[in-house]
Amino acid sequence: MNTLFDTLKYFVTITIELVVLFMLISAIVEFVFMYVSEEKMQKHLSGKGIWGNIIGASFGALTPFCACSTIPMTVGLLNAKVPFGATMSFLISSPLLNPIIIGILGALVGVKAAVIYFVMAFISSVIFGYVLEKTGGSKYVKNVRVKPSCCETEKIDKRALPFKEKLKISFMSAWGSLRPVMLFLLIGVGIGAAIYGYLPNDFVLKIAGPDNIFAVPIAAVVGIPLYIRAETAIPIGVALMGKGMSIGAVIALIIGGAGMAIPEMSMLAGIFKLKLVAAIVFVVFLTAVISGYVFNMLF
């Protein structure tokens, strides 16, 4: 009964924390973007050289997009003649540096871990976009146009609205973003609670503990088919870490799940040729593995 009580307590506590964080961060980001026009964003993204990649990665880090918004946005940037490298930096950073992921990591794992994660994923996004442009990756883009995002709402000039109306719309948008992922979040917390309450510590230590040198790359690969969203992966990873899984393996799991999710890769295959999709998967996997080993060394 004590184990069951602890498991239920973990489930309720983590669920409340994640829902509150998700709503607050989504609302803040939505509110900030009411003061920034799309034309200005595209103008800044058109910076030349590596500066364009830095801006592209920064833009991706500020946008809590799901895959159904990230892909159409990527096509929109390409159609708007935004440099290919900056667009690729955006494409990589958008899922990995989602502010919701950073906020949840900071709350559940620690601010230091969240900052290191952000820096590593950001640098990877900038370098990847820059290298891909210099090596002629743009020739692997198909000539397609994607329909408006499933998350896209009616276009209105939100910048002209009163402050209270902007605040209301921000939280309504946050709730609209939370609803589609709520099931994934609950599934992740439920699995994490079961792991927290019932999975033997010795088993986790043997399979994915800090002494297993292959734990990090295995975790990165496991994240691909198992976790559609990072909101699902993070509570499971935190529970596993409490059982002895190395923090590096947890980080690799989160990056693999967030950056190489099967639905997103399927959508990318519709706008990019196979070689470019493979390059994206390779870069995300490499980022996951390198980040995992760095975390194991630092923590």
CB-based contact 64:204 (threshold 8 Å): no
- What's the rounded mean pLDDT across residues 199-206? 63
- Whether the model pTM is above 0.75: no
What does the pLDDT read at residue 126? 93
Q: Within 10 Å of residue 84's Cβ, how many Cβ atoms?
A: 21
274-298 and 247-259 helices, crossing angle to 10° = 160
- What's the rounded mean pLDDT across residues 64-70? 57
Beta bridge mates, 272: 141
pLDDT digits (tens, 9 = 90+) for 210-246: 677 888 888 887 766 554 455 666 777 777 777 777 8
Beta bridge mates, 141: 272
Domain span holding position 14: 2-298
- What is the DSSP secondary-structure string of 89-120? HHHHHHHHT-HHHHHHHHHHT-HHHHHHHHHH
**Cα–Cα distance, 106 to 94 (Å, whole number):** 18
Higher per-residue pLDDT: 289 or 81: 289
CB-based contact 249:122 (threshold 8 Å): no
Please state which of the ranges 122-131, 173-182, 279-288 shows the lowest mean pLDDT: 173-182
- What's the rounded mean pLDDT across residues 151-177? 71
- What's the rounded mean pLDDT across residues 268-279? 84
Q: What mean pLDDT is reported for the chain?
A: 76
Taking CA atoms, 101 is separated from 61, 94, 217, in Å, by 10, 11, 21
**Cα–Cα distance, 204 to 184 (Å, whole number):** 23
Tally of domains within the chain = 1
